[in-house]
């Protein structure tokens, strides 16, 4: 089955909004073994919509349209589908009743334009929408099946899962499953990791292995298909095992939802340790990344954002004289910050970051991108120096500093004392 | 001039990666007065590429292709363009020399596949690439002009600006300018703001006014065109003035780069005040949002992420007994946190947040979504209660809490004492 996804909306094609529905649908269809060959995005113009639907009908046998089902004059999908298939629009009584009910339940006034939402091409089937007014449309025409869904991502996804997915399975989709697994790594560059994996990324290999990089986290994406999910998974497993073995402690976890913060929290949980933080140049980013994780209060006690020097003194007990002697960006201050954070709240581990995030504030001796991270535990404290590059923008220096710092916590716990 | 943008890459059409080039190009073309009517995304299949190029040629007179110019066998844009236009591929000597030079400068070995990158359709013009190996292609064919650019966003953007933009201007683009201005608001819902702006959003009005909502920030987007940027701007101004007047202190600023944190920092800078924060449920998000802003150390001294109760005691001087009596999520503790943060570092304003971000931790009395924010200054302290809805996900509760808290700082400074 070859699929095309069409996103309708002038705000998408003129660049005002980014279409993310098509990517989501490609992934959802991939899981059903349906291969998407085309995405088309176009504006609210009837003739262009009709023509695009005809092009799609000729090159694909499943066409999923998002958007253009609302009540306004800009919403042309019903009309365009009728013209493209040569069927007249007819009122669907059940959909009309659903729309009337929707407004009654909410005590809102229904307009005549809402009535238009129940006009569907003759021979099509309405797809009930339980969270909005617009019904979707399911229509088979010759070799091709159209599924029209609302553009609001939440409504679209729900309707795909509840209405389109079962209908596609009834047409035979899902009989083979395409499965992906992602293994994220941190600690080496993409080129180096790639050079260690040339046998895995070779073309034509099954499972197929791809490498992607996002914000210094390098991910292996391993894909294969099988008659069932279990079969596909069994085919994936040996490759996943090779990657885990070969890349050892670079491996953060076993899904794309794990990045360095999640991996660090997993290690804290495994070893029953608690963490406190002291952040200068990362300005709360580490705390924010940790507290995005639900239930993290077992592992993370809190932290200080010591942007001003006297915040380091007041909250972390860093001596004024130490800052005066070595400067706020120094291994000495990083160490004192880590110890101060740990001690103040009685955490097992104190983690600190101090550096020059830029764009201003750099000197010849301490350029933008110079960052010290400190780690303190019951055995003592130590620091590391990062040189992240003066040409990097502020947010990259902040993000890399946070990743390196939390990755140190992860490795420290993973290796015991040798991780220091 | 009607434009189509084609993004080539199997990783885009199968949903692995999100295409952002097309949106960027739509915006860049819009500034030149070129209207984009279609985006097409497709995989690395020669026949499908040839057919899509032909469809584009018939419905648009400018086709911009991104991707498919690399050295591998997957890179089919050169071949597809040659087939679609009926011209043979020929070696371009200048491009070949540029590729050879590129490898020499870097001391890297050039492969035969790199040589293929200098094969261009006969009659086309290479677009020099000074940051990568692949030259782009500029080709006029009948009524239609093709511009083929690399898929790497950085290379694509640079080449568009240096090579494509001037060529489009030479074809007459840019003789009228489409201009947008964005005014972001915070403090009322989208529906309420929309109902106050029906005269502005009426269809056919010039300048055109649209409303978009992102994470509770509602933005007016005002668009018009003119022969020059100055003329378009003069046409925009009266509408911008009406919006500023009508929405008063809901207005955060005058560009889409301003959201609540930037607006709060602007007010702090205007009034020469400093801020310290104490965050429980927002977990450093406020600190992170503030310290993303370069140069914010003049306004923001630092803060505490007091996730554990004893962090509130140790760093903010909140009495143990107060937490025991009222609970950590209470107006009393919010007030004490704000005062504690302000006092510890000698800031003009202390801002605090304590609440239940969920998904766990809610009770009948203190449900998920209950949040107290506190504000302290030299005159005293006060608190506000937010009910953000138990059904909201954690990250939404965190984000809304941070916005309301920083917006309170903004309004407090804007209105003087009456803002409390």
Unique residue bearing structure tokens 């099954």: A206
**A15: nearest CB among B12, B23, B398:** B23
> pLDDT class for B163, splitting at 50, 70, 90?
very high
Chain-centroid distance, C-alpha A17: 18
DSSP string for A143-174: TEEEEEE-SSHHHHHHHIIIIIHHHHHHTTTT
pLDDT score of A419 more than 60: no
Q: Do B305 and A302 touch (CB under 8 A)?
A: yes
B18, B35, B39: best to mutate for the A interface, most A CBs within 10 A: B39
Q: Do A48 and B35 touch (CB under 8 A)?
A: no
Q: Do B15 and A38 touch (CB under 8 A)?
A: no
Q: What is the pLDDT of residue A46?
A: 94
Q: Return the minimum-mean-pLDDT range out of A263-267, A291-295, A301-305, B254-258.
A: B254-258
**A13: nearest CB among B26, B292, B345:** B26
Q: Do B302 and A282 touch (CB under 8 A)?
A: no
Shortest distance between the Cα of A57 and any Cα of chain B, in A, equals 14
Q: Is A52 on the interface with B (CB under 8 A)?
A: yes
**B315: nearest CB among A11, A17, A304:** A304
* Distance between CA atoms of residues B305 and B266, nearest Å: 24
Q: What is the pLDDT of residue B41?
A: 97
Q: What is the pLDDT of residue A11?
A: 87
Q: Do A14 and B25 touch (CB under 8 A)?
A: no
Q: What is the pLDDT of residue B420?
A: 43
**B291: nearest CB among A221, A277, A283:** A283
> pLDDT class for A418, splitting at 50, 70, 90?
very low
Q: What is the pLDDT of residue A420?
A: 44
Shortest distance between the Cα of A222 and any Cα of chain B, in A, equals 12
Residues of chain B contacting A194 with CB distance shorter than 8 Å:
none
* Distance between CA atoms of residues A376 and A338, nearest Å: 6
Q: Do B30 and A14 touch (CB under 8 A)?
A: yes
Dig out the tokens for B15 from the structure. 């949903």
A6, A13, A108: best to mutate for the B interface, most B CBs within 10 A: A13
Higher pLDDT, A210 or B88: B88
CB B348 within 8 A of CB B273: yes
DSSP string for B17-44: S---HHHHHHHHHHHTTPEEEEEEEE-S
Q: Do A307 and B300 touch (CB under 8 A)?
A: yes
Shortest distance between the Cα of A311 and any Cα of chain B, in A, equals 6
The closest of A419, A416, A356 to A390, measured between CA atoms, is A356
Rounded to the nearest 5°, which phi and psi values hold at B187? 130, -15
Q: Do B210 and A16 touch (CB under 8 A)?
A: yes
Interface of A with B in 68-127 (CB under 8 A): 73
Q: Do B283 and A291 touch (CB under 8 A)?
A: yes
pLDDT score of B108 more than 80: no
Shortest distance between the Cα of B44 and any Cα of chain A, in A, equals 9
Shortest distance between the Cα of A286 and any Cα of chain B, in A, equals 8
Q: Do A13 and B40 touch (CB under 8 A)?
A: no
Pick the residue from chain B with its C-alpha nearest to A307: B302
Shortest distance between the Cα of B56 and any Cα of chain A, in A, equals 11
Pick the residue from chain A with its C-alpha nearest to B342: A311
Pick the residue from chain A with its C-alpha nearest to B74: A203
Q: What is the pLDDT of residue A225?
A: 87
Shortest distance between the Cα of B225 and any Cα of chain A, in A, equals 14
Shortest distance between the Cα of A96 and any Cα of chain B, in A, equals 25
pLDDT digits (tens, 9 = 90+) for A259-286: 999 999 999 999 999 999 999 999 999 9
Q: Is B213 on the interface with A (CB under 8 A)?
A: no
pLDDT score of A287 more than 90: yes
Q: Do B301 and A286 touch (CB under 8 A)?
A: no
CB A345 within 8 A of CB B311: yes
Higher pLDDT, B244 or B14: B244
Q: Which distant-in-sequence residues (6+ apart) come within 8 Å of B186 by Cβ?
A: B216, B217, B218, B250, B252, B259, B260, B263, B403, B407
Q: Return the minimum-mean-pLDDT range out of A105-114, A213-222, B22-31.
A: A105-114
pLDDT digits (tens, 9 = 90+) for B284-304: 999 999 999 999 999 999 999
> pLDDT class for B418, splitting at 50, 70, 90?
very low
pLDDT digits (tens, 9 = 90+) for A35-48: 899 999 999 899 99
pLDDT score of B419 more than 70: no
Residues of chain B contacting A345 with CB distance shorter than 8 Å:
308, 310-311, 314-315
pLDDT score of B361 more than 60: yes
Dig out the tokens for B86 from the structure. 């009926």
Size of interface A-B (CB pairs under 8 A): 226
Residues of chain A contacting B8 with CB distance shorter than 8 Å:
none
B208, B291, B368, B391: best to mutate for the A interface, most A CBs within 10 A: B291
* Distance between CA atoms of residues B419 and A185, nearest Å: 49
CB B84 within 8 A of CB B6: no
Q: Do A344 and B311 touch (CB under 8 A)?
A: yes
pLDDT score of A128 more than 80: yes
Pick the residue from chain B with its C-alpha nearest to A214: B17
Q: Is A244 on the interface with B (CB under 8 A)?
A: no
Interface of B with A in 319-378 (CB under 8 A): 344-346, 358-360
Q: Is the peptide bond before A35 cis (omega within 30 degrees of 0)?
A: no
**A294: nearest CB among B290, B294, B359:** B359
For the complex shown, is ipTM > 0.90?
no
Over range B359-364, report the average pLDDT. 90
Q: What is the pLDDT of residue B137?
A: 97
* Distance between CA atoms of residues B404 and A238, nearest Å: 50
Q: What is the pLDDT of residue B74?
A: 75
Shortest distance between the Cα of A4 and any Cα of chain B, in A, equals 9
Bridge partners for A214 per DSSP: A217
The closest of A100, A74, A73, A87 to A137, measured between CA atoms, is A87
Interface of B with A in 274-303 (CB under 8 A): 276-277, 279, 282-288, 290-292, 294-297, 300-303
A307, A368, A401: best to mutate for the B interface, most B CBs within 10 A: A307
* Distance between CA atoms of residues B375 and B368, nearest Å: 22
Pick the residue from chain B with its C-alpha nearest to A345: B311
Residues of chain A contacting B153 with CB distance shorter than 8 Å:
none
DSSP string for B274-309: -EEEEESTTTTHHHHHHHTSTTGGGTEEEEEE--SH
**B297: nearest CB among A22, A41, A307:** A307
Residues of chain B contacting A73 with CB distance shorter than 8 Å:
203
Q: What is the pLDDT of residue A75?
A: 85
* Distance between CA atoms of residues B356 and B140, nearest Å: 61
pLDDT digits (tens, 9 = 90+) for A210-227: 887 788 899 998 989 888
CB B299 within 8 A of CB B274: yes
Q: Do A20 and B20 touch (CB under 8 A)?
A: no
Pick the residue from chain A with its C-alpha nearest to B402: A288
Q: Do B23 and A38 touch (CB under 8 A)?
A: no
Q: What is the pLDDT of residue A213?
A: 77
pLDDT score of B324 more than 50: yes
pLDDT digits (tens, 9 = 90+) for B268-279: 999 999 999 999
Dig out the tokens for B176 from the structure. 């009228």
Residues of chain A contacting B314 with CB distance shorter than 8 Å:
344-345
Question: Which SS3 state, helix, strand or coil, does residue A28 take?
Answer: helix
Bridge partners for A127 per DSSP: A136
Pick the residue from chain A with its C-alpha nearest to B359: A294
Indicate the pTM of the whole model: 0.77
Rounded to the nearest 5°, which phi and psi values hold at B357? -85, -15
């Amino acid at each position: 089955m070859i699929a095309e996804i069409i996103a309708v909306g002038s705000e998408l094609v003129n660049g005002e909004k980014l279409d993310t529905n098509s990517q989501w649908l490609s992934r959802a269809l991939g899981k059903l073994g349906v291969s998407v060959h085309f995405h088309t995005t176009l504006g609210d113009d009837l003739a262009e919509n009709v023509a695009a639907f005809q092009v799609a009908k000729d090159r694909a046998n499943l066409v999923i349209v998002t958007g253009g089902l609302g009540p306004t004059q800009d919403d042309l999908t019903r009309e365009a589908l009728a013209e493209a298939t040569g069927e007249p629009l007819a009122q669907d009584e059940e959909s009309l009743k659903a729309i009337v009910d929707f407004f009654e339940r909410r005590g809102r006034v229904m307009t005549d334009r809402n009535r238009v939402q129940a006009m569907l091409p003759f021979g099509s089937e309405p797809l009930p929408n339980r969270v909005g007014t617009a019904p979707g449309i399911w229509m088979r025409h010759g070799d091709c099946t159209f599924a029209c869904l609302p553009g609001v991502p939440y409504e679209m996804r729900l309707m795909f899962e509840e209405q389109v997915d079962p209908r596609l399975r009834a047409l035979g989709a899902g009989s083979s499953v395409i499965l992906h697994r992602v293994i994220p790594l941190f600690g080496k560059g993409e080129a180096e990791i790639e050079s260690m994996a040339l046998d895995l990324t070779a073309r034509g290999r099954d499972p197929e292995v791809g490498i992607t990089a996002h914000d210094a986290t390098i991910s292996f994406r391993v894909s294969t298909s099988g008659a069932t999910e279990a079969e596909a998974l069994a085919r994936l497993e040996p490759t996943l095992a090779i990657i885990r073995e070969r890349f050892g402690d670079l491996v953060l976890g076993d899904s794309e939802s794990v990045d360095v913060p999640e991996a660090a929290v997993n290690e804290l949980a495994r070893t029953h340790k608690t963490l406190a933080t002291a952040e200068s140049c990362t300005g709360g980013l580490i705390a924010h990344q940790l507290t995005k994780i639900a239930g993290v209060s077992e592992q993370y006690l809190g932290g200080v954002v010591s942007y001003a020097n006297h915040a380091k003194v007041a909250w972390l007990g860093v001596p004024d004289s130490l800052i005066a002697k070595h400067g706020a960006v120094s291994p000495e201050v990083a160490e004192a910050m880590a110890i101060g954070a740990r001690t103040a709240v009685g955490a097992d581990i104190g983690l600190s970051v101090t550096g020059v995030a830029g764009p201003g504030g750099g000197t010849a001796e301490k350029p933008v991108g110079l960052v010290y991270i400190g780690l303190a535990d019951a055995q003592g404290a130590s620091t590391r120096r990062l040189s992240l590059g003066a040409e990097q923008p502020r947010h990259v220096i902040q993000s890399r500093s946070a990743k390196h710092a939390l990755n140190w916590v992860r490795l420290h716990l993973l290796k015991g004392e040798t991780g220091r």
